[in-house]
A and B are shown apart, each in its own frame.
Chain A
């Protein structure tokens, strides 16, 4: 890619298709929605987990519990950052004991966020298992972590960034692949 170039790799329709397929895969592998709970990782995973929750309701007629987790306090680079990052909220208002937890995130990259999220989940109880669903897997893992459900595999170079834009209305959702430029949002 050229320097500073941007490319839409998934538009709203494409995201919806990918997430729908992913939801079907979750239901197929778990033989339905029984004992499933969804936990979105703040912030990008939260709207995606809500989407999956809705899809499951349409397909199975079951409202699976959905919560969200902020991994900031579990990061392995807290003492290396120049200042403390702003905390977001964690809310898992249901027991995860003996549940099948579907952890949802937007982009799987180094795997460090997932490691932190799993540590956080374990503090809430002892789930039967934890499965990982991501919209984009962009490679470059630094830990032995893989996703169980992937919306789209996107080969990237380290200098690129993948931005999943899920703020605002669903028609505006998209995924961008950008050549990294230090000044964000130019």
Chain B
């Protein structure tokens, strides 16, 4: 397969073949991370800018390390310390950064569609690192990669995703990546946080965590995004935890070799018990590890080619 994509805005239009290509590239990248000298010269002279309009440590650091492992120059830009606080628009900010000739803009923005909008105006490649409640494609790919490594396949697996489905961009990307690879997806959470329309994606919806977790191969817990909730979707965290938290008792309904995922950050004791978060079955730190490899793959695939700008 020949990689033709200039931007990675979402997984909505990703073909299976393309996802497999990224994963295959990530496998090669992962070997680099096991070396003493964790650096290859592939992207020497290329620049990637982390343009983050929302708090993030994991994703931003992951992209930064990925870029540096490939010898790209990585520049971080966070909105809190920038001209955005002085009233500059997104487009002006992006245009100004573009004038400094980066090859890749890695954008996180609270508005859904922000990276799609920018991609029409700038000549460099754009990677969506999370836009509102829309998509988080690199997370969707690293979840796919983590499950492939843990289970050897995705097709036919029962994967339960539990939590705040409504506000989760991770779920929307996972529906594309895991769904398209043939997983049987179950979405679960309080009815206020799990839109019934999600069933149109082919996933099953349930408001009973026991039904979701029963015989599951993978259980993915999501964080309750308190910062995105302007109104109360459930009476109290304590009640949420009691009804939708994953603990030994609920997890024992899953298959014996089931694994636990979480895109982080974890609210320990709310959606996931301490005990399970640190258990043998947890693949949460593997996700972080896979994340660097997957992001290296994306940067490598986008930053090449002489018609990529500059």
Which residue of chain B lies nearest to A122 when distances are taken between CB atoms in the complex?
A: B37
B305 touches A83 (CB 8 A): yes
Q: Known: A78-B42, A91-B31. Contact between A84 and B301, CB under 8 A?
A: yes
A82 to B70, CA, bound (A): 19
Kindly state whether residue A183 has any CB partner on chain B within 8 Å.
no
Counting chain B CB atoms within 10 Å of each CB, the highest count among A73, A74, A119 belongs to: A73
B24 touches A86 (CB 8 A): yes
Which residues on the B side are within 8 Å of A78 (C-beta)? 42, 304
Q: Which of B29, B35, B305 contacts A84 (CB 8 A)?
A: B305
Kindly state whether residue B233 has any CB partner on chain A within 8 Å.
no
Which residues on the A side are within 8 Å of B46 (C-beta)? 79
Total residue contacts A-B, CB cutoff 8 A: 63
B25 touches A82 (CB 8 A): no
Chain A 64-78 interface mask (CB, 8 Å, partner B; 1/0) = 000000101110001
Count residues of A near B (Cβ-Cβ below 8 Å). Answer: 22
Kindly state whether residue B280 has any CB partner on chain A within 8 Å.
no
Which residues on the B side are within 8 Å of A125 (C-beta)? 36
B41 touches A80 (CB 8 A): no
Q: Known: A81-B305, A83-B305. Contact between A119 and B27, CB under 8 A?
A: no
Q: Known: A74-B41, A119-B41, A123-B35. Contact between A81 and B304, CB under 8 A?
A: yes
B40 touches A73 (CB 8 A): yes
B40 touches A74 (CB 8 A): yes
Q: Which of A73, A82, A88, A119 contacts B306 (CB 8 A)?
A: A82
Which residue of chain A lies nearest to B302 when distances are taken between CB atoms in the complex?
A: A84
A82 touches B305 (CB 8 A): yes
A87 to B301, CA, bound (A): 10
B3 touches A84 (CB 8 A): yes
The residues in A between 1 and 16 inclusive whose CB is less than 8 angstroms from any CB of B are none
The residues in B between 37 and 73 inclusive whose CB is less than 8 angstroms from any CB of A are 37, 39-42, 45-46, 70
Which residues on the A side are within 8 Å of B28 (C-beta)? 70, 87-90
A80 touches B35 (CB 8 A): no
A90 to B30, CA, bound (A): 10
A83 touches B41 (CB 8 A): no
A83 touches B3 (CB 8 A): yes
B300 touches A80 (CB 8 A): no
Which residues on the A side are within 8 Å of B305 (C-beta)? 79, 81-84
The residues in B between 254 and 310 inclusive whose CB is less than 8 angstroms from any CB of A are 300-301, 303-307
Q: Known: A73-B70, A123-B40. Contact between A84 and B304, CB under 8 A?
A: yes
A90 touches B4 (CB 8 A): no
Which residues on the B side are within 8 Å of A91 (C-beta)? 31
Chain A 85-103 interface mask (CB, 8 Å, partner B; 1/0) = 0111111000000000000
B36 touches A124 (CB 8 A): yes
Which residues on the B side are within 8 Å of A73 (C-beta)? 32, 40-42, 70, 300
Which residues on the A side are within 8 Å of B306 (C-beta)? 79-82
A120, chain B: closest CB distance, angstroms = 8
Kindly state whether residue B2 has any CB partner on chain A within 8 Å.
yes
The residues in A between 38 and 82 inclusive whose CB is less than 8 angstroms from any CB of B are 70, 72-74, 78-82
B304 touches A87 (CB 8 A): no
Q: Which of B25, B39, B40, B41 contacts A86 (CB 8 A)?
A: B25
B225, chain A: closest CB distance, angstroms = 35
Which residues on the B side are within 8 Å of A119 (C-beta)? 41
A79 to B308, CA, bound (A): 9
B307 touches A82 (CB 8 A): yes
B296, chain A: closest CB distance, angstroms = 10
Which residues on the A side are within 8 Å of B35 (C-beta)? 123-124
Which residues on the B side are within 8 Å of A81 (C-beta)? 304-306
B interface, CB within 8 angstroms of A: 1-4, 21, 24-25, 27-29, 31-32, 35-37, 39-42, 45-46, 70, 300-301, 303-307
Q: A79-B304, A83-B3, A87-B25 are in contact. List 19 more A-B contacts (CB 8 A).
A: A70-B28, A72-B42, A73-B70, A74-B41, A78-B304, A79-B306, A80-B306, A81-B305, A83-B2, A83-B305, A84-B301, A84-B304, A86-B25, A87-B24, A89-B28, A90-B32, A123-B39, A124-B36, A124-B37
Instruction: List 26 interface pairs A-B (beta carbons < 8 Å), by A numbering.
Output: A72-B42, A73-B32, A73-B70, A73-B300, A74-B40, A74-B42, A79-B305, A80-B306, A81-B304, A81-B305, A82-B305, A82-B307, A83-B3, A83-B4, A83-B304, A84-B300, A87-B25, A87-B29, A87-B300, A88-B28, A89-B27, A89-B31, A90-B32, A123-B37, A123-B39, A124-B37
